Chain A
Amino acid sequence: MDALFDSVMLSRLQLAAMAMVHISFSVLTVGAALFIAVMEGLWLKTKDPAWYGHARFWSRLLLLNFGIGVVTGLPLEFAFGNNWAPFAAKSAFFGEILGTETLAAFMLEAGFLGVMVFGWNRVSPKLHFFSTCMVVLGSALSVFWIMVANSWMQSPAGVTLDGGRIIVTDFREAIFNPDMVFSTAHMYVACLQTSFLVVGGISAWYVLKGRHTAFFARSFQAALIASLVIAPLQVWIGDENGREVANLQPTKLAAMEAHWETNPEGQGASWIIAAWPDEANQRNLWAVEVPYALSLLLTHSPTGEVKGLKDFPKDLHPPILMTFYPFRVMVFAGFAFLGLALWTGWRWKKGALVADRLPGETWLLRAWMAAGPLAWAAVEGGWVTREVGRQPWLVYGLVRTSEAATPLPAGTVAASLAGYLVVAGLLTAAFVALTGRVLARGPDPSTLEPPQAPAAH
């Protein structure tokens, strides 16, 4: 209950709420924009109007998603001044990367989105396709720059402390910090994976209902082909990422795995499937373990050393439960998607995915419908692991979270947090209701055929 009266804790909760709401919309924007660009490109190449119909249908959903994604994300940018002013003043690098992101990425998305969604009859098809590609590029650059900023907080390279301020000594090192490459790849692929699973899940729903079966069998197949590549790719990137964490942030890794004792030489560290960590006494009350697995995963040797949490002072331990279980949600989901991709690929090989046989694959279609929500859970789980696991640091090893918050009255932050939750809750409920309405109505017949003579401005 103390947390409710602690201004710093409330500011942390508020930032977490803003980030968790915002990310759930923006992952879809990133992947859906790419999906639409592929559909539109196929239309231009093959002249098959069905691809055009797909681009139009998914654009309509993208627009609903984009608006709420932007307005729930706007508070995040200001939060670094509002709630984290000492951090803003201290760490110029973070601000300039955020500034770069707004210039290089956000305007590119917003500056071409209007033409992409509303400009079908106003510009030539080629110019329209160019606009769609610019939105895709803008959204990809958004992921890149925000991951540069965040990964620098995880592994702050290329900087030095000078009179209480963090000064950049080498931009290349700071931008291409050790955590950046794999975490950016992990996040971008997560955006694609979530989006394609949602596209596939929605398509599966239509096919199950027997509505527009031929139309949605096509987007289902497209989502499937993408998943066959993405699911194994993401598992591999995730594994690389995990080994980076072990190198760069051993306390986060130990918390993720509830790993208390460093394994003695000649013995392997076990991977814990489930456990109940007892933080006060620095042990697990119970644990289900796979012997040698953790050493194997991280060091590729059955007895490789993995540092336990007890090797670090207690005040550097992140909260264990909030790191351990969200991580497991993400890992479970990642393997579930791999299984789903293999299952679907097998049915594809058996010829069961053609439009007239697909409705019979009831369980497969249901599994796809469940995969969308699970992908969201994976994204949120991954981010909670990443951010909670970094504690007590805001910038790992340099700035503590507790010394970076604006000394706001707790009541003010509590009120703004409550306000954010109410507004975001209302708007999300409306978003869900309206998306449901658009889906229930299905594709608008007037947008399924390309305009006869597109105006060329």
Chain B
Amino acid sequence: METLQIYLPDYFFLALGLILFLYMATDGYNLGLGIFSLAARHEEERGLMIGSIAPTWHASQTWLVILGGLLFGAFPVAYGVAMSALYIPVMLMLAGLAFRGTAIEFYHESPRRARWGLAFGLGSLAATLAQGFILGGLLSGMPVVERQFAGGFGDWLNPFSLLVAAGGTAGFVLLGTTYLAMKTDGELRHRALKTGAMAAWAVLAGLSMILLWMTLQQGRGGFSLLSLRQGHYIYLTLPIFLFEFAMLQRSLKREEQDRPFQWSVLLFLTLVVGIAAALYPTAVPPGLSIFDAAAPPRSLWFLFAVSAVLLPVMLAYNAWQCLVFRGKAGQGGESNY
């Protein structure tokens, strides 16, 4: 037990990476679809978009709740530091998610659909931008003194985090449009795929700039990809990323059924793996490691037992729910309460 104990922070680093990926992949398409819905041609189209995610968005959003809960439980110091430093973008994200979520439930019951449709779109956009600022703010670095955040509450807003927010928005739009293409037919599907292709190029451009920036520029507290112990690992994922990107573009051009969405999800997986490999064993850059941020060993054991049993079960019933609602939207009475 004693010898295994030192690996517990590693386990939670991995588990959190997995949950981050699951959140980005599943709620990413909901949020991206929300942003794309701002360009819907008419209300019926928007109703179809909202109907296509109504049965499953709760579960997608819950991955964020689990991300927060597990981060709090396993790395309470990192949780406190990051949440204090990111107070403003977290509040913005929560406000965006509040409008997005209630809009999905209220849309089909309301006599003022256009208004809730707008709340759905703008809420999704706000939440997506805020999540970009959260990730960008985290990667900008946060000074920590005595287990507390010691920087300014406006540090998260800088040109780098702006770039991450823009790239993240493009990424979620890519997921959202390719998801929609999987769920719809005809002209809407064609338009979604075209937007998806543009979003994919924007992701590539954004990511290249982010990588260059992180390599050449120093973040707060003086660190860059090159000064992190394994920062260079992220470059190793680049060939995989580029291969997936090429396959994505090909499947978009061929207007394949499910492939564009699947390649987009794989892109996100590669990205999360790359970032995690580069940061390890850092919890909050530049200096707070997962070992300094971790809860006491007994607490980690407890949460390890709980999560090791429940994560596979959760994955199973989530997969089942997605399977129940597979197929084109609006064919199983999704908006039929």
- The residues of A with any CB-CB pair to B shorter than 8 Å are 56, 59-60, 63-64, 66-68, 70-72, 74-75, 77-78, 80-93, 95-104, 106-115, 117-123, 134, 165, 167-169, 171, 406, 408-409, 412, 416, 419-420, 423-424, 427, 430-431, 434, 437-438, 444, 446-447, 457
- Verify A77–B106 contact, CB threshold 8 A: no
- Verify A408–B84 contact, CB threshold 8 A: yes
Q: Give Cα distance in the complex from A209 to B164, angstroms.
A: 57
- Verify A89–B148 contact, CB threshold 8 A: yes
User: In whole Å, how far is A252's beta carbon from the nearest beta carbon of chain B?
Assistant: 27
The 8 closest A-B pairs by CB, nearest first: A81-B83, A99-B73, A85-B80, A102-B69, A67-B105, A114-B55, A92-B295, A96-B73
- Verify A430–B102 contact, CB threshold 8 A: yes
- Residues of B with C-beta under 8 A to A106: 62, 65-66, 69
Among A108, A111, A113, A121, contact of B336 (Cβ-Cβ < 8 Å): A121
- Verify B84–A60 contact, CB threshold 8 A: no
Among A74, A92, A113, contact of B76 (Cβ-Cβ < 8 Å): A92
- Verify B55–A115 contact, CB threshold 8 A: yes
- Verify A112–B317 contact, CB threshold 8 A: yes
User: In whole Å, how far is A426's beta carbon from the nearest beta carbon of chain B?
Assistant: 9
Among A71, A117, A122, A406, contact of B102 (Cβ-Cβ < 8 Å): A71
Residue of A with least CB distance to B62: A110
B11 part of interface (Cβ distance < 8 Å)? no
- Verify B61–A88 contact, CB threshold 8 A: no
- Residues of A with C-beta under 8 A to B80: 81, 84-89, 406
- Verify A60–B337 contact, CB threshold 8 A: yes
Residue of A with least CB distance to B322: A114
B334 part of interface (Cβ distance < 8 Å)? yes
Interface string of B130-151 (1 = CB under 8 A from A): 0000000000000000011100
- Residues of A with C-beta under 8 A to B334: 118
Counting contact residues on chain B (CB < 8 A from A), the size range is 35 or more
Known: A87-B80, A427-B99. 8 other contacts (CB 8 A): A81-B80, A82-B83, A89-B76, A90-B76, A99-B69, A102-B68, A103-B307, A118-B325
- Verify A103–B68 contact, CB threshold 8 A: no
- Residues of B with C-beta under 8 A to A101: 69
- Residues of B with C-beta under 8 A to A72: 98
- Verify B58–A71 contact, CB threshold 8 A: no
- Verify B109–A438 contact, CB threshold 8 A: yes
B314 part of interface (Cβ distance < 8 Å)? yes
Q: Give Cα distance in the complex from A109 to B56, angstroms.
A: 12
B70 part of interface (Cβ distance < 8 Å)? yes
- Verify A71–B98 contact, CB threshold 8 A: yes
Segment touching A, from B86-94, B200-208, B245-253: B86-94
User: In whole Å, how far is B41's beta carbon from the nearest beta carbon of chain A?
Assistant: 25
B122 part of interface (Cβ distance < 8 Å)? no
Interface string of B291-323 (1 = CB under 8 A from A): 000011011001100110011001001100100
Q: Give Cα distance in the complex from A111 to B95, angstroms.
A: 23
**Given A85-B81, A100-B306, A119-B55: A427 in contact with B72 (beta carbons within 8 A):** no
- Verify B109–A64 contact, CB threshold 8 A: yes
User: In whole Å, how far is B112's beta carbon from the nearest beta carbon of chain A?
Assistant: 9
User: In whole Å, how far is A79's beta carbon from the nearest beta carbon of chain B?
Assistant: 8
**Given A102-B66, A107-B314, A406-B84: A430 in contact with B55 (beta carbons within 8 A):** no
- Verify B95–A412 contact, CB threshold 8 A: no
- Verify A118–B87 contact, CB threshold 8 A: no
Among A64, A74, A91, A165, contact of B97 (Cβ-Cβ < 8 Å): A74
- Verify B76–A412 contact, CB threshold 8 A: no
User: In whole Å, how far is B163's beta carbon from the nearest beta carbon of chain A?
Assistant: 24
Q: Give Cα distance in the complex from A199 to B74, angstroms.
A: 40
Residue of B with least CB distance to A85: B80
- Verify B87–A122 contact, CB threshold 8 A: no
- Residues of A with C-beta under 8 A to B72: 77, 80-81, 88, 95-96, 98-99
- Verify B299–A93 contact, CB threshold 8 A: yes
B79 part of interface (Cβ distance < 8 Å)? yes
- The residues of B with any CB-CB pair to A shorter than 8 Å are 54-56, 58-59, 61-62, 64-66, 68-70, 72-74, 76-77, 79-84, 87-88, 90-91, 94-95, 97-102, 104-106, 109-111, 147-149, 153, 295-296, 298-299, 302-303, 306-307, 310-311, 314, 317-318, 321, 324-325, 332-334, 336-337
- Verify B324–A115 contact, CB threshold 8 A: yes
- Verify A77–B105 contact, CB threshold 8 A: no
- Residues of B with C-beta under 8 A to A409: 153
**Given A77-B68, A103-B69, A409-B153: A434 in contact with B84 (beta carbons within 8 A):** no
Inter-chain contact count A-B, CB under 8 Å?
253
Residue of B with least CB distance to A88: B80
**Given A103-B311, A106-B65, A419-B95: A64 in contact with B106 (beta carbons within 8 A):** yes
User: In whole Å, how far is A153's beta carbon from the nearest beta carbon of chain B?
Assistant: 15
Q: Give Cα distance in the complex from A80 to B71, angstroms.
A: 12
Residue of A with least CB distance to B70: A99
- Verify A64–B54 contact, CB threshold 8 A: no
Q: Give Cα distance in the complex from A104 to B308, angstroms.
A: 11
- Verify A81–B84 contact, CB threshold 8 A: yes
Q: Give Cα distance in the complex from A122 to B153, angstroms.
A: 49
- Verify B61–A81 contact, CB threshold 8 A: no
User: In whole Å, how far is A123's beta carbon from the nearest beta carbon of chain B?
Assistant: 6
- Verify A75–B94 contact, CB threshold 8 A: yes
Q: Give Cα distance in the complex from A71 to B110, angstroms.
A: 19
Q: Give Cα distance in the complex from A444 to B336, angstroms.
A: 10
- Verify A123–B324 contact, CB threshold 8 A: yes
- Residues of A with C-beta under 8 A to B62: 102, 106-107, 110-111
- Verify A408–B87 contact, CB threshold 8 A: yes
User: In whole Å, how far is B254's beta carbon from the nearest beta carbon of chain A?
Assistant: 30
- Verify A63–B105 contact, CB threshold 8 A: yes
User: In whole Å, how far is B30's beta carbon from the nearest beta carbon of chain A?
Assistant: 13
- Verify A99–B106 contact, CB threshold 8 A: no
- Verify B148–A70 contact, CB threshold 8 A: no
The 23 listed contacts between A and B (C-beta, < 8 Å) are: A67-B102, A67-B104, A70-B101, A77-B68, A77-B72, A82-B83, A85-B81, A85-B84, A86-B80, A88-B72, A89-B148, A96-B73, A96-B295, A96-B302, A99-B69, A100-B303, A103-B307, A104-B310, A118-B54, A118-B336, A169-B298, A412-B87, A430-B106
Q: Give Cα distance in the complex from A419 to B299, angstroms.
A: 35
- Verify B79–A412 contact, CB threshold 8 A: no
**Given A64-B109, A96-B299: A82 in contact with B84 (beta carbons within 8 A):** yes
User: In whole Å, how far is A408's beta carbon from the nearest beta carbon of chain B?
Assistant: 6
- Verify A121–B295 contact, CB threshold 8 A: no
User: In whole Å, how far is A291's beta carbon from the nearest beta carbon of chain B?
Assistant: 49
- Verify B87–A103 contact, CB threshold 8 A: no
Among A78, A85, A92, A113, contact of B73 (Cβ-Cβ < 8 Å): A92
**Given A93-B299, A96-B295: A114 in contact with B306 (beta carbons within 8 A):** no
Q: Give Cα distance in the complex from A121 to B333, angstroms.
A: 7
- Residues of A with C-beta under 8 A to B84: 81-82, 85, 406, 408
Residue of B with least CB distance to A116: B55
